[in-house]
């Protein structure tokens, strides 16, 4: 199951974002509690294609794609050295595939910023520094163990050379993700986890007025940073969205319209996480269930069948293929057959995002 960690300094709105994404009701605090336990939940990935297919097939059950979310306790300066809840923070971050970094744009006299003032860019740099220092410490310790080891094999010497290059790169304040590696080097590092190698989504948590104006202190610097590092930057007003989410359908739509929101910012976050994880969805359809299945990009039809059930992969014969976009264009599966827009695909067919598959198999 793909997983995302929601990270950031204390009292920036991480748990509110977690509650919005998962539907949980974890208590939020307006003070730094020093909590070390992470909250874990599942977030539905909104998909208009599933909505469309559900209206078309009217199934008994509709199942959306999901991602696992971890609400990581707030980081403080010195976390990489174990300060505050640093060790718990790093342990939780190590386990997830991608990071949703919430930074604070809103000001509130009720919720004091741990640094004493609101500065989104400073907060981004604080977290980035702690992740970088954690990688440096990890590589340095590993190098020390290898150099002091009694048995120095050819493999060990190669690892020392590679880790020395990585350490120099990190000490130049460059994230591991920016380091170019050969396929052989990547294989040698397959069991290593680097904090600065994890994809990041930046989320600016704003108040109502800031969100409406799409303007807040430090926005230009934050946008420049996101552009330079190739990071998605999503603006939300988490408190407002939480309040709106508790309203009925018509009232909810009215309030979103008043804020100029076509869809909740929280939906943007879920989809962005799905994208940066390199995930796509294929669908199975019928009267019983319309369902989205999550796979990595590049999987074959046979491998995708195994995500449904191991028997389907083991006994795979063919995959009947339609594309959701074609049904939306032409109106029905019957029309696709008339126009020759359905096909039978073999085991090596690379599944595309939005494919509808019906697996033929024999066990």
| Percent with pLDDT over 70 in the chain | 94
Q: What is the mean pLDDT of residues 197-216?
A: 91
Q: Say whether pLDDT at 85 is over 50.
A: no
Q: Record the tokens describing residue 148, joined without a space.
A: 């002091």
**Do 93 and 230 belong together in one domain?**
yes
**Which residues are CB-neighbours of 352 under 8 A, at least 6 positions away?**
280, 282, 323
**Do 168 and 213 belong together in one domain?**
no
Q: Say whether pLDDT at 262 is over 80.
A: no
Residue 261 lies in a domain: yes
User: From its phi and psi, is residue 114 left (phi > 0), alpha (psi between -120 and 50) or beta?
Assistant: alpha
**What confidence score (pLDDT) does residue 229 get?**
92
The total of structural domains in the chain comes to 3
**Do 176 and 209 belong together in one domain?**
no
Q: Indicate which CATH number applies to the domain containing 351.
A: 3.10.20.30
Give the helix, strand, coil percentages of the chain, each rounded to 5: 45, 20, 35
Summarize pLDDT for 172-182 with one digit per residue, the tens.
999 999 999 99
Q: Indicate which CATH number applies to the domain containing 138.
A: 1.10.150.300
**What confidence score (pLDDT) does residue 347 get?**
96
Summarize pLDDT for 46-62 with one digit per residue, the tens.
899 999 999 999 999 99
Last residue of a domain, one of 176, 196, 216: 196
Residue 219 lies in a domain: yes
Q: Give residue for tokens 């946008």.
A: 223
- From CA 353, how far away is CA 295, in angstroms rounded? 9
Q: How far from 146 is each of 138, 152, 243, CA to CA, in Å? A: 12, 8, 54
Q: Say whether pLDDT at 31 is over 50.
A: no
Which H or E element spans position 346?
Answer: none
Residue 99 lies in a domain: yes
168 SS3 class: helix
**What confidence score (pLDDT) does residue 87 get?**
67
**Do 208 and 175 belong together in one domain?**
no
Residue 82 lies in a domain: yes
Q: 36 with 73: CB under 8 angstroms?
A: yes
**Do 228 and 250 belong together in one domain?**
yes
**What confidence score (pLDDT) does residue 242 get?**
85
- The two beta strands, 98-104 and 3-7, are parallel
**Do 75 and 9 belong together in one domain?**
yes
**Do 81 and 92 belong together in one domain?**
yes
**Do 16 and 104 belong together in one domain?**
yes
Q: How far from 15 is each of 67, 212, 253, 266, CA to CA, in Å? A: 16, 22, 24, 13
Q: Record the tokens describing residue 164, joined without a space.
A: 């020395």
> By mean pLDDT, which of 160-164, 259-263, 300-304 is the weakest?
259-263
Q: Say whether pLDDT at 353 is over 70.
A: yes
Residue 270 lies in a domain: yes
Reported as a pLDDT band with limits 50, 70 and 90, residue 192 is very high
Q: Say whether pLDDT at 240 is over 70.
A: yes
Question: Which residue segment(s) compose the domain that 181 sits in?
Answer: 130-196
Residue 313 lies in a domain: yes
**Which residues are CB-neighbours of 169 under 8 A, at least 6 positions away?**
176, 178, 179
Q: Say whether pLDDT at 33 is over 60.
A: no
**Do 99 and 33 belong together in one domain?**
yes
**What confidence score (pLDDT) does residue 149 get?**
79
Q: Say whether pLDDT at 244 is over 90.
A: no
For 69-80, give the DSSP string: EEEPPPP-TTGG
**Do 10 and 149 belong together in one domain?**
no
**What confidence score (pLDDT) does residue 292 get?**
97
Residue 58 lies in a domain: no
**What confidence score (pLDDT) does residue 152 get?**
77
**What confidence score (pLDDT) does residue 230 get?**
92
Q: Say whether pLDDT at 78 is over 70.
A: no
**What confidence score (pLDDT) does residue 34 get?**
58
Q: Indicate which CATH number applies to the domain containing 224.
A: 3.40.50.300
Measured on CA atoms in the order 279, 173, 229, 71, is the torsion positive or negative?
Answer: positive
Q: Say whether pLDDT at 199 is over 80.
A: yes
- The two beta strands, 355-361 and 343-345, are unpaired
**Distance from chain centroid for Cα 129:** 21
Last residue of a domain, one of 158, 181, 196: 196
Backbone angles phi, psi at 166, to 5 degrees: -65, -45
Within a 10 A sphere around the Cβ of 251, how many other Cβ atoms? 11
| Percent with pLDDT over 90 in the chain | 63
**Do 347 and 269 belong together in one domain?**
no
Last residue of a domain, one of 139, 162, 196: 196
**What confidence score (pLDDT) does residue 212 get?**
85
Residue 57 lies in a domain: no
Summarize pLDDT for 134-158 with one digit per residue, the tens.
999 999 999 999 988 777 788 888 9
Reported as a pLDDT band with limits 50, 70 and 90, residue 80 is low
pTM as predicted: 0.86
**Do 183 and 233 belong together in one domain?**
no
Q: Which residue has the higher pLDDT, 143 or 110?
A: 143
**What confidence score (pLDDT) does residue 258 get?**
76
**What confidence score (pLDDT) does residue 291 get?**
98
């Amino acid at each position: 199951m793909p997983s995302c960690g929601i990270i950031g300094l204390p009292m920036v709105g991480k748990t509110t974002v977690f509650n919005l994404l998962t539907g949980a009701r974890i208590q939020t605090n307006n003070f730094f509690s020093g909590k070390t336990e992470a909250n874990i939940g599942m977030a539905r990935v909104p998909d208009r294609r599933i909505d469309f297919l559900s209206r078309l097939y009217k199934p008994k059950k509709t199942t959306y794609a999901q991602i696992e979310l971890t609400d990581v306790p707030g980081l403080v300066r010195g976390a990489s050295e174990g300060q505050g809840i640093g060790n718990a923070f790093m342990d939780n971050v190590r386990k997830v595939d991608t990071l949703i970094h919430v930074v604070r744009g809103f000001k509130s006299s009720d919720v004091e910023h741990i640094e004493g003032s609101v500065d989104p860019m400073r907060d981004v740099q604080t977290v980035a520094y702690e992740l970088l220092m954690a990688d440096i410490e990890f590589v340095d310790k590993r190098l020390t163990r290898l150099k002091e080891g009694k048995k120095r094999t050819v493999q060990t010497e190669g690892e020392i050379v590679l880790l020395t290059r990585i350490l120099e790169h990190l000490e130049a304040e460059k994230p591991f993700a920016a380091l170019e590696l050969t396929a052989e080097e990547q294989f040698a590092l397959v069991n290593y986890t680097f904090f600065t190698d994890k994809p990041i989504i930046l989320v600016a948590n704003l108040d109502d007025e800031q969100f409406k104006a799409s303007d807040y202190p430090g926005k230009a610097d934050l946008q420049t940073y996101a552009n330079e590092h190739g990071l998605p930057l999503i603006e939300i007003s988490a408190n407002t969205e939480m309040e709106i989410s508790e309203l009925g359908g018509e009232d909810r739509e009215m309030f979103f319209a008043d804020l100029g929101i076509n869809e909740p910012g929280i939906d943007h976050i879920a989809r962005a996480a799905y994208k940066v994880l390199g995930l796509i969805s294929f669908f199975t359809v019928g009267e019983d269930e319309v369902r989205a299945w999550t796979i990595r990009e590049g999987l074959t039809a046979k491998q995708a069948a195994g995500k449904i059930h191991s028997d389907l992969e083991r006994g795979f014969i063919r995959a009947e293929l339609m594309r959701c976009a074609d049904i939306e264009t032409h109106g029905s599966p019957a029309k696709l057959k008339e126009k020759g827009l359905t096909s039978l695909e073999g085991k090596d067919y690379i599944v595309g995002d939005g494919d509808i598959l019906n697996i033929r198999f024999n066990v």
